[in-house]
Amino acid sequence: VFPWFGLDIRGTLVKLVYFELKDITTEEEEEEVENLKSIRKYLTSNVAYGSTGIRDVHLELKDLTLCGRKGSLHFIRFPTHDMPAFIQMGSEKHFSSLHTTLCATGGGAYKFEQDFRTMGDLQLCKADELDCLIKGALYIDSVGFNGHSECYYFENPMDAERCQKLPFNLENPYPLLLVNIGSGVSILAVYSKENYKWVTAPEARPADFHFVLCCSIGGGTFFGLCCLLTGCSTFEEALEMASHGDSTKVDKLVRDIYGGDYERLGLPGWAVASSFGNMMSKEKRESVSKEDLAKATLITITNNIGSIARMCALNENINRAVFVGNFFRNNAISMRLLAYALDYWSKGQLKALFLEHGGYFGAVGALLELLDSA
């Protein structure tokens, strides 16, 4: 039963993937109800929905075969606080009359379940968010990105001229550390399709297994702190400011304390000794710009994620970390820094990998769950 949707409702953003059927038969077209047509038209003919919904056109997967059908996969996102409007819209477009199931994952699948039922007359099929994440990531990697590699890495990441984004073959993915950075950070060690574990959450509490904690310093922290420090109002704005800032004015580096490298401990002078450490001084607080603060926030959070991911990889004896999540959207600074930091601190033992469809794997996984269950 069409339409095919996968929904991932997270702390800050909702990700929606929509499979647009391209091999539609004449019979099907005749049978197709008006409501379905209008939904397809609405989604595929627009790139923005309302004031906050966006379709990431550049991510669209064309000529995809899914369950024997050909079509395109569309990637749409909007803020979680617009969920009520989304449900309202579904209700207005008589979505429930299609008798389809909507498969959703993420914390919001629980939070909004009741609203879907009462406002939208829709029964949600809830899918496990970790299963969805892994399933989605591996699926998209396997189908590739319109003939290109889905997975990539950086060569010479900190060198502005020589930095290169290169494809990585993730054909034999296991074992692998999957680091998902949304509002917070969750890290999974994946040993096979079925065997993965949540490495940073306490295992002694089985209930915690499915829960989004791990590290609370993630994309939400970057955005939240930037709002407080700079008065910005969007994630994009925060990133834009960061790209023009100088974090070394804000952070205290090893060389600021020791005059150079701290050789006794093997610490290079450029390493950050204390994030925001210079801000202990009143004079320095008065001399930094909002851009500097945004950059320092980004660097602090990225470095921290890198160091936690590296420790998890060491403890799990894994040498590949795949970073996914919306934190990396348009965020080359963080990706390149992670690539460099992981390589430097692991002495080349740990490789940072990235996937093109960074934030959408949960939603893709939810769609796949839907198809599996049908």
Contacts with another protein in 161-200 (CB under 8 A)?
Answer: 182-184, 200
Question: Considering only residues 46, 307, 330, 373, which one is a binding residue for another protein as defined by CB under 8 A?
Answer: 307
Q: Does 251 bind another protein (CB under 8 A)?
A: yes
Question: Considering only residues 133, 215, 352, 355, which one is a binding residue for another protein as defined by CB under 8 A?
Answer: 215
Sites for another protein among residues 284-303 (CB under 8 A): 285, 293, 300, 303
Question: Considering only residues 76, 102, 132, 312, which one is a binding residue for another protein as defined by CB under 8 A?
Answer: 312
Q: Does 279 bind another protein (CB under 8 A)?
A: yes
# binding residues, another protein (CB under 8 A): 73
Q: How far apart are the first and last CA of the chain?
A: 9
Q: Does 273 bind another protein (CB under 8 A)?
A: yes
Question: Considering only residues 50, 202, 260, 268, which one is a binding residue for another protein as defined by CB under 8 A?
Answer: 202
Q: Does 227 bind another protein (CB under 8 A)?
A: yes
Residues 143 and 71: beta-carbon distance below 8 Å: no
Question: Considering only residues 144, 224, 269, 332, which one is a binding residue for another protein as defined by CB under 8 A?
Answer: 224
CA-CA-CA-CA torsion sign (6, 13, 329, 45):
positive
User: 3-class SS at 68?
Assistant: coil
CA-CA-CA-CA torsion sign (170, 192, 327, 276):
negative
Q: Is the Cβ of residue 73 or residue 293 nearer to another protein in the bound state?
A: 293
Q: Does 210 bind another protein (CB under 8 A)?
A: yes
Q: Provide the 8-state DSSP code for 60.
A: P
Q: Could you give the CA distance from residue 19 to residue 72 in angstroms, rounded to a whole number? A: 6
Return the HEC string of 86-136. Answer: HHHHHHHCCHHHHCCCEEEECCHHHHCHHHHHHHHCCCEEECCHHHHHHHH
From 23-31, 93-101, 232-240, 356-364, span contacting another protein (CB under 8 A): 232-240
Question: Considering only residues 139, 168, 174, 211, which one is a binding residue for another protein as defined by CB under 8 A?
Answer: 211
Q: Provide the 8-state DSSP code for 347.
A: T
Structure tokens at 176: 């692998």
Helix axes 235-243, 290-316, angle to 10 degrees: 100
Q: Does 269 bind another protein (CB under 8 A)?
A: no
From 31-39, 53-61, 188-196, 262-270, span contacting another protein (CB under 8 A): 262-270
Structure tokens at 127: 């899918």
Helix (H) or strand (E) holding 66: strand 61-66
Q: Which of 20, 129, 150, 291 is catalytic?
A: 129
Residues 233 and 240: beta-carbon distance below 8 Å: no
Is 129 one of the annotated active-site residues of the chain?
yes
Q: Is the Cβ of residue 59 or residue 303 nearer to another protein in the bound state?
A: 303
CB of 102 to another protein, least distance (A): 17
CB of 230 to another protein, least distance (A): 9
Structure tokens at 172: 């034999």
Q: Does 223 bind another protein (CB under 8 A)?
A: yes
Q: Is the Cβ of residue 163 or residue 227 nearer to another protein in the bound state?
A: 227
From 43-51, 215-223, 334-342, 355-363, span contacting another protein (CB under 8 A): 215-223
| Closest residue by Cα to residue 363 from 77, 101, 171, 117 | 77
Q: Could you give the CA distance from residue 93 to residue 326 in angstroms, rounded to a whole number? A: 29
Q: Does 78 bind another protein (CB under 8 A)?
A: no
Catalogue the active-site residues. 129
